Amino acid sequence: MATIRDVAQYAGVAPSTVSYVLSGSRSISEETRTRVREAIDALGYHPHASARTLRAGRTRVIALAVPRAAGLQRSVDGRFAIDVSDAANLLGYDLLLSTSQDKAEGVRRVALSGLADAAVLMAVDMDDSRIDVVRELGFPAALIGRPTDEAALPWTDLDWEAAAALAVRSLAAAGHRALVYLGPTGNEYAARRSYALRGRSGARAAAAEVRVPVRFLETPSGISPERHTPNEAPRLVHALREALGTGRDRATALIVQHPSADHALSALTTLGLRTPEDITVLVLGSLPDDPTARRLPRVDLPVHTLATEVIRLAAQATTHPTPPPAPHLLIPPQLSGTEGLGGGGGE
């Protein structure tokens, strides 16, 4: 059965353009509209009418789509699930948790099941396949994450680019002469996760602006910051030893883009480096109640604000569909613990 992506490829347009032609929610040139209609006819594409009827019967349930691998423990997922659930309950909704690793098909099953009025999508990729699915099905949804097409669906997110830039500028102003940026795993970059790519982009831009060298490092694949195994620690220790350098070129500050800095601190201890005496550690996207991060300079992830806003956007979409551009809230970063920024790693 043809999908909206098949139609888009046949017509030589983006999937969102096909959605706009079908919904009439955006002005499209007659030439493009004709190509899309011809592709629909040629492929025999039929939007799922059953999904568009779901709004007629209210379940008072919002689905939270959190793709996760079996056995993977991530404190950020649990924290968001709790806060999203609380925000939903305040608006009279229950929460349905969907953890399918097949992101697009998982949300498609939820949309067609009739079990929920709307969905909240986490782990957002820059060009997330779920966006096309919910638009194709006419299923209300909102994102915790900033996609490339910001007008496609309602979304809210921390301004990761500004957060990373703020971290680099603040450390440079404190006198640090070289920095290391420890980002998420390579898998997150390969999947084009919005937070990972935007964070690294912001750090690079700020590094060029303040003229302080930043060495970019990906967390070695397979390392779980939430649960160490004996084979994981040496890999991160080796990676950090190489990135930090030695002598006059040694980096004096480390930026960790992750809710927890425990894995990085453990590796630094193995290397014989004390925080903040020998090296400053700044956490980007820490959980507000993380005891480790509370003693470090940090940009907290505003979980409560994001959860409250995304539920409001999802609930609003069930009753008041908004034509593009979709509403969104980009949250500016706030740097805490600035007294711990140090200056040159204690030298």
Residue with tokens 């004996």: 230
**119 touches 63 (CB < 8 A):** yes
Distance CA 85, CA 120 (A): 11
Distance CA 289, CA 248 (A): 36
Distance CA 207, CA 25 (A): 41
Residue with tokens 């060495």: 215
Instruction: Examine the pLDDT at 73 and tell me if it is beyond 70.
Output: no
**56 touches 114 (CB < 8 A):** no
N- to C-terminal Cα distance for the chain? 65
Residue with tokens 């939270």: 64
Instruction: Examine the pLDDT at 23 and tell me if it is beyond 90.
Output: no
What lies within 8 Å, CB to CB, of 31 at 6+ separation is none
Q: Dihedral through CA 264, CA 267, CA 273, CA 274, nearest 10?
A: 50
Tens digit of pLDDT for each residue in 230-262? 455 788 999 999 999 988 889 999 999 987 889
Residue with tokens 């680019």: 161
The verdict on pTM exceeding 0.85 is no
**321 touches 140 (CB < 8 A):** yes
Tens digit of pLDDT for each residue in 274-326? 999 999 999 999 998 889 899 999 999 999 999 999 999 999 998 876 566 78
**219 touches 267 (CB < 8 A):** no
Q: Is the peptide bond before 325 cis (omega within 30 degrees of 0)?
A: yes
Handedness of CA 309, 329, 336, 224 (dihedral sign): positive
Distance CA 42, CA 318 (A): 33
DSSP for 10-50? HHTS-HHHHHHHHH--S---HHHHHHHHHHHHHHT----HH
Confidence band (pLDDT; 50, 70, 90) for 345? low
Average pLDDT over residues 187-215: 96
Distance CA 14, CA 326 (A): 17
Distance CA 253, CA 178 (A): 7
Instruction: Examine the pLDDT at 55 and tell me if it is beyond 50.
Output: no
DSSP 53: T
Tens digit of pLDDT for each residue in 98-148? 998 888 999 999 998 889 999 999 999 999 999 999 998 889 999 999 999
- Quick one: pLDDT at residue 64? 97
